[in-house]
């Protein structure tokens, strides 16, 4: 949640990213490129977070075992996510317009955790090179915290898909 100076609040990470990036190099001025950023923000929520982030959460908290049917299905989908990202990133250094934007920030948040979800990335060299580029951007911070030991008892309280 982001509370604005005038008391209004924004929820959802991608809405907050979009708001904070307005007027910065992280959100292009070009209408087409802005729309392309939105496309990747939607893809992050519908596919990347759901298939990679949600799978990782359930595996790490013990809700699913790697061979459980839903885990296998999500892992198959996560492989497709990596194929899509790898093919796109084979043509461009970043997701939109050749420069680092909030699309990269949002997609990176879960995509870089594919290995922790049991989804190998070795066959996706453009994706791996992109992860390295994102991690080498100025002021990059990886502040991801491990799930707490009691996370498996928080059933129904998560929005991790």
- The runs of H, that is alpha helices, within the chain are 13-21, 31-43, 54-60, 69-89, 102-111, 125-135
Among 141, 118, 115, residue whose Cα is nearest residue 128: 115
Tokens of 42: 């939607």
For tokens 């907050």, what's the residue?
16
Query: What per-residue confidence (pLDDT) applies to 92?
Result: 98
Query: What per-residue confidence (pLDDT) applies to 153?
Result: 54
Calculate mean pLDDT across residues 5-21.
97
Work out the mean pLDDT of the chain and round it to a whole number.
92
Domain boundaries, the chain: 31-153
For tokens 């990886």, what's the residue?
142
**27-75 pLDDT tens trace:** 999 999 999 999 999 999 999 999 999 999 999 999 999 999 999 999 9
Protein fold of 31-153: Glutathione S-transferase Yfyf (Class Pi); Chain A, domain 2 (1.20.1050)
């Amino acid at each position: 949640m982001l509370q604005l100076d005038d008391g209004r609040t924004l929820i959802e990470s991608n809405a907050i990213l979009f708001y904070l990036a307005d007027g910065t190099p992280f959100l292009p001025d070009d209408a087409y490129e802005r729309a392309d950023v939105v496309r990747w923000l939607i893809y992050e929520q519908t596919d990347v977070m759901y298939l990679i982030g949600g799978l990782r959460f359930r595996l790490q908290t013990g809700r699913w075992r790697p061979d459980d049917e839903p885990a296998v299905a999500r892992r198959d989908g996560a492989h497709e996510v990596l194929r899509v990202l790898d093919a796109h990133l084979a043509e461009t250094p970043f997701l939109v317009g050749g420069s680092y934007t909030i699309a990269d920030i949002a997609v990176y948040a879960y995509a870089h955790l594919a290995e922790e979800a049991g989804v190998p990335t070795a066959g996706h060299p453009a994706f791996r090179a992109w992860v390295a580029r994102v991690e080498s951007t100025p002021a990059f911070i990886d502040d991801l915290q491990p799930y707490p030991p009691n996370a498996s008892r928080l059933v129904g309280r998560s929005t991790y898909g």
